[in-house]
A and B are shown apart, each in its own frame.
Chain A
Amino acid sequence: MMKKYAVEFLRRGMAFAGFGPIIMGIVYFSIDMNLDNFSLNGTEVLAAIISTYILAFLQAGASVFNQIEEWSLGKSLFWHFLTIYVAYVGCYLINSWIPFEPMFLVVFTAVFTIGYFIIWFIVYFSVKATSKKLNSKLK
């Protein structure tokens, strides 16, 4: 049964991984349009492409954790959060978008955690409302 979820993880990851570098390209393009002396060397560009590709792959693939019936709600949420967090913090550090300093990591972690749970609450309660309406139609 777990093989099914592993395959689904890979399928989703591969389907959306390409969006990472595309979004990164758009962000760098916007920065370039607004900063005078913005430039990247070849190593930085390659690191950015690979890291954002992996980030998008993990983010899309991790969505399957929430559908593993054998896992409890807490376990699914924990692994989803952890995977996304590691992917983001790794990507930000590799690309030097945040410095590798404890204080910055603490602030990043706090902002990421708050943001993650705000989005989670909004999505969850929106879907909960939809499920309630659909259930009323089943009766």
Chain B
Amino acid sequence: MKFKLIIDKEREEELIIYSHNKDKFTDEIEALCKSRSCDLVGYKEKEAVILDLLEVNCFTVEDNKVFAITDKERLQIKQRIYMLEEQLPSFFIKINQSCIANIKRIARFDASIGGNLTVRFKNGYTDYVSRRNIKTVKERMGL
């Protein structure tokens, strides 16, 4: 793959990739680009941490607060969930009204006894896909 950097202070900063397919490399570039654009910061008590989006399993709402769930910790986010939806890279998908999941961090899908589709992340955290979002999830997963 060729690499070309053009420094032009007159133009809006933009990153365009010509690739044969969407893969881990393009996802990482996208995450890096989005992180630079929106600077997502997570808070644990008073400590602020810049989020590595590839390490986030999902963003979820609990008691009206938004949290980023990683393998090691849960960090509070200042943005509202609907704002995150617009800012996050394409490998994040809204699975229900209160959760945006990282497709790359999903371990498996299961059927719950109530007829819901549940998502188990690689760290063991689980959430469900609402009926309203099933169609979008299937499309994004290539079904």
* Identity of the chain A residue whose Cβ is nearest the Cβ of B141 in the assembled complex: A137
Complex Cα spacing A38 to B114, Å: 38
Q: A137 to chain B: which residues have CB within 8 Å?
A: 141-143
Whether the pair A131, B126 counts as a contact (CB closer than 8 A) is no
**Which chain B positions have C-beta within 8 A of A133?**
138, 143
Decide if A134 touches B113 in the complex (CB within 8 Å).
Answer: no
Q: Which of B62, B117, B126, B141 contacts A127 (CB 8 A)?
A: B117
Q: Mark A67-84, 1 if CB is under 8 A from B, else 0.
A: 101000100110010000
Q: Which residue on chain B has the smallest CB distance to residue A1?
A: B62
Contact of B117 among A73, A120, A131 (CB under 8 A): A131
The interface residues of chain A, by DSSP majority, are classed as helix
**What is the total number of residues of chain B having a CB less than 8 Å from a CB of chain A?**
23
Distance (Å) between the CB of A125 and the closest chain B CB? 8
Tell me the nearest residue of chain B to A72, going by C-beta: B113
List the A residue with the shortest CB-CB distance to B134: A130
Contact of B115 among A73, A127, A134 (CB under 8 A): A127
Residues of B within 8 A of A66 (CB): 112-116
B138 touches A131 (CB 8 A): no
Residue of B nearest to A65 (CB): B114
Query: Which residue of A69, A124, A130 is within 8 Å of B113 (Cβ)?
Result: A124
Q: Which of B106, B111, B138 has the most CB of A within 10 A?
A: B111
Can you pick out 17 interface pairs between chain A and chain B where the beta carbons lie within 8 Å of each other? Answer: A4-B62, A66-B112, A66-B115, A67-B128, A73-B113, A77-B113, A127-B111, A127-B115, A127-B117, A130-B109, A130-B117, A131-B110, A131-B117, A133-B143, A134-B117, A137-B142, A137-B143
